[in-house]
Structure 1
Amino acid sequence: MARILTFLGKGGTGRSTIAIAAAKQFAAKGSRVLFASSDPSPALSIELGATVGPEPQEIAPNLHAVQLLISVLLEQGWEEIKKLEAKYVRTPFLKAVYGQELGVVPGMEAALTLNALRNYDKSGNYDVIVYDGTGDQNTLRMIGAPEIGSWYLRRFRQVFAESDVGKTLAPFVQPVTSAVLNVDWSGDNFGQPPQEVTEIMDKWRETMADANRVSAYLVTTGNPAAIATARYLWGSAQQVGLLVGGVILNEALVVDTFAAELAPNLQELYATYEREANISEKVSAEFAPLSVTTLPWRNGDDWQPLIKALPDFSQPASVPKPISINVSERSVSLFLPGFDKKQVKLTQYGPEVTIEAGEQRRNIFLPNELRGRPVKGAKFQNQYLVISFG
């Protein structure tokens, strides 16, 4: 099982450079590292100083790199689908369709990328996977997909089974599926999906929720838009259960800003420097209680100063948990930085509570002790949403 690390932040903040430096840092310490990038352009090979393609290849000691090309992943995924079809369906009908013919449906990228990361993790070839994705809401949706997928399977199966249509069809589902598929759905007429699918979904959901396995770091500059974006992504990451271990302030881009603002005289130059020097304090205040690491300028191909300045990603971060449940006090607390109470919506359906914040929704399946108890109140305090049950 590999440790998976990714970076979130506004475009242009240097996420990819930092991701490469993190991969090099792990490799230098002896970990077997896979650097996986969703960037299909030749820029990736130029930045890494080695040719990178759709298959993992070693570019330095302990360091492999792969370019996640969606068209290639689609072909590979299609072959897996046909294998499953041949296993479960007595008369396969997809064998005449080839992966090379398929176009990429919008939204398919996340599923294919997640499956690729899952397979690399399952291979046992790597101790660390550094994923360099878009670093925005698309990355968060991908990471949250197993949790959401499990919810859809659980909720809609239950809804269908309890509906009049479901009750009418129930007696016929088992014999029909037994006749068509090489599986036994007895015991639960709607059963679950084939057991492998359920197990894969649940296992990957547990992986994504494990702070010791998957984590992210925010990347920002002193630019107000970059800071605001990072704060928003911080709160959104909590909604999908992704641990954010800290903040990386890319000082190199601060220096770029400073150079662009070079004043015509020494007095203005000094004033500009003083203004930029307060950026670190400002970022620390915006992202408390996360630790903030300031990175120096990288000079040409010399990666060492940048690598040495990075935090030790292998150490567990001391940060607030995305969610904590206190059964004795009948309360659920969610850490939602970057949002205020006007941006948070709470609804309760049966044994679940749904939290909507920004573009993310999180379904919390309550423990037995709280299940069936109505929400008595909710308050937003010190970046926490605290829900009390009657």
Structure 2
Amino acid sequence: MTLILTFLGKGGIARTKIAIAAAKLLASQGKRVLLAGHPEPTFQILLGTAIAPDPKEIAPNLQVVQFQASVLLERNWEEVKKLEAQYLRTPIFKEVYGQELVVLPGMDSALALNAIREYDASGKYDVIIYDGTGDASTLRTFGLPESLSWYLRRFRQLFVNSDLGKTITESPLIQPLIGTFFNVNWTADNFAQPTNQANNFLEKGKAALADPNRIAAFLVTTQDPIDVANTRYLWGSAQQVGLSIGGVILVSSEANANLSEEFTPLPVNVVPDTPIGDWQQLIDALPNFAEQALQAPKPIEIDIQSRQVRLFLPGFDKKQVKLTQYGPEVTVEAGDQRRNISLPPSLSGRAITGAKFQNGYLIISF
């Protein structure tokens, strides 16, 4: 089972240095490690070698790869064309070539997540370390399975129940016309099959995100009050996408530096701000990532017996949290993140009877 590890918080060199040091540490322990980053100069300068869009071994048990969005888009486009050919008699995209596609905003996140998924599924690595942007963009990347899952299940059912959906899937007059365009007889079952496959794919991603054995993040900060405030904000935002935070890495030259009060109950590990190339001091100060990840507070807990949902939202106060229930699910807003909570059958459809914000937890009763 592969552990996917990422770091949030302090931008620039500090966070990337910690990602590289973590990769070196885990590789030295005999784990097969893939270190993935974006095509930015810092990543390659710190490693002291050129990074390619395909994994390259730079030390025993350690490979590095660059998530170049244009290359990933080109490769995925070929898969899109193959999928289209399965359903359309005359494919539309066959004359559009991946080499001419331009990466649009947001595509890079989805492409990076899919690349991580593929490397994870390959079974070649024990640990994948993703050196992303370390901000809200990284959180949205890891939150994509849950976000897309909500859109899929909500809009799929709306379409099936609509007059247009019923006409397409049931009308005997429309079926012959559809048959001239599609390679399949487009019934309700045919419509459900591809969406069910996509939903199963997204459910696997959600399950991985909910398991700290599979995906975890660590916060990186300095003692600067602004860095601390931003890192606490990211901590709470990470809980909104369901990402487990295993601990805090405090970069400081002061041996007695302490931020335990600001990040309770997370463990805080102090690491030195070492010069570029001096890896051993940094490596020796790093925590046991897998062990700390398992002890992380759960982002969400659902207690069916007491009819309660508990969300851990550190870094936010009561005024920054908004709770609504318009549809069959409960929506929680905190900061710039919105989460739709899919309730178990015993709670689904029940109205909220009460809510309180206590010790960093939003406690919702039904």
TM normalised by structure 1 equals 0.88
Looking at CA atoms only, which structure, 1 or 2, has the larger radius of gyration?
Answer: 1
Q: Quote how far apart the aligned CAs of 1:73 are.
A: 0.8
Q: Which amino acid aligns with 1:370?
A: L
Q: Quote how far apart the aligned CAs of 1:126 are.
A: 0.9
- Say yes or no: does 1:229 pair with 2:230: yes
**Equivalent residue number for residue 35 of structure 1:** 35
Taking the aligned partners of 1:2 and 1:245, their CA distance within structure 2 comes to 16
Per-residue deviation, residues 79-111 of structure 1 (Å, max 9, x unmatched): 111121223322222121111111111111111
**Candidates 307, 312, 316, aligned match of 1:330:** 307
**Equivalent residue number for residue 298 of structure 1:** 274
**Equivalent residue number for residue 312 of structure 1:** 288
Taking the aligned partners of 1:57 and 1:233, their CA distance within structure 2 comes to 31
Taking the aligned partners of 1:26 and 1:307, their CA distance within structure 2 comes to 10
Q: Which amino acid aligns with 2:31?
A: S
3-state DSSP of counterpart to 1:193? helix
Per-residue deviation, residues 149-198 of structure 1 (Å, max 9, x unmatched): 01000001122233344444442476655553334554547425355433
3-state DSSP of counterpart to 1:191? helix
Q: Quote how far apart the aligned CAs of 1:199 are.
A: 2.8
**Equivalent residue number for residue 146 of structure 1:** 145
Q: Quote how far apart the aligned CAs of 1:210 are.
A: 1.8
Q: Quote how far apart the aligned CAs of 1:138 are.
A: 0.3
> 8 Å contact 2:10–2:222 — kept in the other structure?
no
- The alignment-based identity, stated in percent, is 60
**Equivalent residue number for residue 100 of structure 2:** 101
Taking the aligned partners of 2:193 and 2:340, their CA distance within structure 1 comes to 20
3-state DSSP of counterpart to 1:31? coil
**Equivalent residue number for residue 346 of structure 1:** 323
- Trace 1:61-76 onto structure 2 (pairs within 5 A): 61-76=60-75
Q: Which amino acid aligns with 1:244?
A: I
- Say yes or no: does 1:289 pair with 2:288: no
Gap runs ≥5 in structure 1:
256-275
Q: Which amino acid aligns with 1:4?
A: I
Taking the aligned partners of 2:49 and 2:156, their CA distance within structure 1 comes to 48
**Equivalent residue number for residue 267 of structure 1:** none
TM normalised by structure 2 equals 0.93
Q: Quote how far apart the aligned CAs of 1:208 are.
A: 2.0
- Trace 1:1-390 onto structure 2 (pairs within 5 A): 1-12=1-12, 14-38=14-38, 40-172=39-171, 179-183=180-184, 185-188=186-189, 190-251=191-252, 255=253, 280-281=257-258, 283-315=259-291, 316-389=293-366
Taking the aligned partners of 2:163 and 2:185, their CA distance within structure 1 comes to 24
Q: Quote how far apart the aligned CAs of 1:10 are.
A: 3.2
3-state DSSP of counterpart to 1:378? strand
> 8 Å contact 2:300–2:311 — kept in the other structure?
yes
Of 330-339 and 297-306, deviating more is 297-306
Per-residue deviation, residues 271-302 of structure 1 (Å, max 9, x unmatched): xxxxx777x33x11100000000002324523
Describe the shift of the 1:284–1:159 C-alpha distance in structure 2 as closer, same or farther (beyond 3 A): same
Describe the shift of the 1:319–1:208 C-alpha distance in structure 2 as closer, same or farther (beyond 3 A): closer
**Equivalent residue number for residue 269 of structure 1:** none
> 8 Å contact 2:9–2:219 — kept in the other structure?
yes
Describe the shift of the 1:212–1:346 C-alpha distance in structure 2 as closer, same or farther (beyond 3 A): same
Describe the shift of the 1:372–1:297 C-alpha distance in structure 2 as closer, same or farther (beyond 3 A): closer
Per-residue deviation, residues 343-367 of structure 1 (Å, max 9, x unmatched): 1111113431111111111111111
Taking the aligned partners of 2:195 and 2:307, their CA distance within structure 1 comes to 36
Q: Which amino acid aligns with 1:56?
A: P
Q: Quote how far apart the aligned CAs of 1:335 are.
A: 0.3
- Aligned-residue RMSD, C-alpha: 2.0
Describe the shift of the 1:287–1:168 C-alpha distance in structure 2 as closer, same or farther (beyond 3 A): same
Q: Quote how far apart the aligned CAs of 1:201 are.
A: 2.1
The count of corresponding residues between Structure 1 and Structure 2 is 363
Per-residue deviation, residues 48-101 of structure 1 (Å, max 9, x unmatched): 122211111000000000111111111111111112122332222212111111
3-state DSSP of counterpart to 2:125? coil
**Equivalent residue number for residue 268 of structure 1:** none
